[in-house]
């Protein structure tokens, strides 16, 4: 059995936040530990949302490609379809493209610049703003007094990212349901016409 330090998450990439107490020794506050745990869980959730979006985007792209190939191969036959079937095919096509756009928006990396208190370092984009290692060291040192507020802002921003990604994935699912319904309607309408 291995001894584990209190507060160690075992995740390997947790954020460190120390509060200076009266005797000058660094001690992690329970609020800071809880906030760091929430930030890490939110980051993990972003990864899960990205994986879902990427998987659905790949699958949707394959289906769209297959469907487009079938339509192009039988292009002459499309003119013989009834107007109802052609309209339904167009509805399916538009819904499929909308679903793919929603998934692409969910998977697209956003690196917007947010205002941080006192120019604090909070993510890789802030680090990239430093002109050299000395400037980065100074920015990190200047960030320590406002670090707890930065972590709270980071949790807020990351949670909004997760919500946006899942909202877009849900919209993509709705669009793909329209594709399935329109596809089924095309089959039924084709059978009724013939």
Please report the DSSP string for 119-153 in residue order: G---SHHHHHT-SSHHHHHHHHHHHGGGHHHHHHH
User: What pLDDT band is residue 28 in, cutting at 50, 70 and 90?
Assistant: low
Residue 4 lies in a domain: no
The pLDDT of 57-63, averaged and rounded, is 83
**82 in any annotated domain:** yes
Domain that holds residue 160: 25-193
Within a domain: 50 = yes
- By CB atoms closer than 10 A (0-12, 13-18, 19+), residue 101 is middle
Q: Total structural domains in the chain?
A: 1
Report yes or no on 19 lying in a domain.
no
| Residue 19, strand partner residues | 27
**Residue 17 within a domain:** no
Please indicate, yes or no, if residue 59 is contained in any of the structural domains. yes
pTM of the model: 0.68
């Amino acid at each position: 059995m291995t001894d584990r330090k209190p507060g160690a998450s075992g995740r390997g990439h947790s954020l460190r936040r120390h509060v200076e107490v009266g005797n000058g020794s660094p001690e992690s506050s329970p609020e800071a530990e809880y906030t760091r745990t929430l930030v890490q869980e939110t980051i993990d959730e972003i990864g899960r949302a990205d994986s879902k979006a990427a998987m659905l985007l790949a699958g949707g792209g394959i289906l769209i490609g297959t469907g487009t190939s079938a339509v192009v191969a039988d292009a002459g036959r499309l003119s013989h379809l009834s107007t109802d079937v052609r309209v339904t095919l167009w509805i399916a096509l538009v819904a499929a493209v909308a679903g793919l756009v929603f998934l692409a928006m969910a998977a697209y990396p956003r690196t917007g610049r947010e205002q941080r208190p006192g120019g604090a370092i909070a993510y890789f984009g802030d680090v990239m703003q430093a002109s050299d290692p000395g400037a980065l060291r100074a920015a990190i040192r200047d960030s320590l007094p406002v670090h707890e507020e930065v972590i709270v802002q980071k949790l807020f921003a990351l949670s909004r990212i997760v919500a946006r990604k899942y909202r877009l994935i849900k919209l993509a699912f709705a669009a793909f349901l329209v594709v399935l319904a329109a596809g089924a309607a095309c089959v039924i309408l084709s059978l009724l016409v013939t």
